[in-house]
Amino acid sequence: MSDPLDDIDKKILLLLQHNARMPISQISKEISMSQPSVKERIIKLEEKNIIAEYGTALNLRELNRGTTTFILVKTEQCERFVEFCKGAKEVTDLFRISGEYNYLIKVQTATVEELAEFQDALVQLGPSKSHISLKNIFENRIVL
Amino acid sequence: MSDPLDDIDKKILLLLQHNARMPISQISKEISMSQPSVKERIIKLEEKNIIAEYGTALNLRELNRGTTTFILVKTEQCERFVEFCKGAKEVTDLFRISGEYNYLIKVQTATVEELAEFQDALVQLGPSKSHISLKNIFENRIVL
DNA sequence: GTTGAAAAAACAGAGGA
DNA sequence: TCCTCTGTTTTTTCAAC
pLDDT in tens, B65-123: 999 999 999 999 999 999 999 999 999 999 999 999 999 999 999 999 999 999 999 99
Which residues have a Cβ under 8 Å from the Cβ of B109 and sit 6 or more positions away? Answer: B65, B67, B69, B90, B115, B118
Gap from A47 CA to chain B (nearest CA, Å): 12
Q: Where do you find CATH 3.30.70.920 in chain B?
A: 67-132
Determine whether the interchain pair A1/B62 forms a contact, defined as Cβ–Cβ distance below 8 Å: yes
A7-47: CATH, from 1.10.150.120, 2.30.30.190, 3.40.50.11030, 1.10.10.10: 1.10.10.10
Which residues have a Cβ under 8 Å from the Cβ of B82 and sit 6 or more positions away? Answer: A137, B94
Determine whether the interchain pair A95/B135 forms a contact, defined as Cβ–Cβ distance below 8 Å: yes
Gap from B106 CA to chain A (nearest CA, Å): 9
Burial of B133 (0-12, 13-18, 19+ CB in 10 A): buried
Which residue of chain B is at minimal alpha-carbon distance from A72?
Answer: B131
Determine whether the interchain pair A70/B20 forms a contact, defined as Cβ–Cβ distance below 8 Å: no
* pLDDT one-digit tens code per residue, A97-133: 999 999 999 999 999 999 999 999 999 999 999 999 9
DSSP type of residue B47: H
Å from B61 (CA) to C2 (C1')?
Answer: 47
Q: Which of B51, B56, B70 sits opposite A58 (nearest CB)?
A: B51
Closest to B91 (Cα-Cα) out of B71, B75, B76 = B71
Q: Which of A59, A134, A136 sits opposite B50 (nearest CB)?
A: A59
Q: Which CATH architecture has domain B67-132?
A: 2-Layer Sandwich (3.30)
Going from the C-alpha of A13 to that of each of A52, B20, B51, B110, the distances in angstroms are 12, 15, 20, 20
Residues of A in contact with B141 (CB under 8 A): 91-93
Å from A43 (CA) to D9 (C1')?
Answer: 19
Alpha-carbon A112 to chain mean position: 22
* pLDDT one-digit tens code per residue, B81-93: 999 999 999 999 9
Phi, psi values for residue B31, rounded to 5°: -105, 5
* pLDDT one-digit tens code per residue, A57-102: 999 999 999 999 999 999 999 999 999 999 999 999 999 999 999 9
Gap from A40 CA to chain B (nearest CA, Å): 16
Q: What is the value of pTM for the model shown? A: 0.95
Q: Where do you find CATH 1.10.10.10 in chain B?
A: 7-47
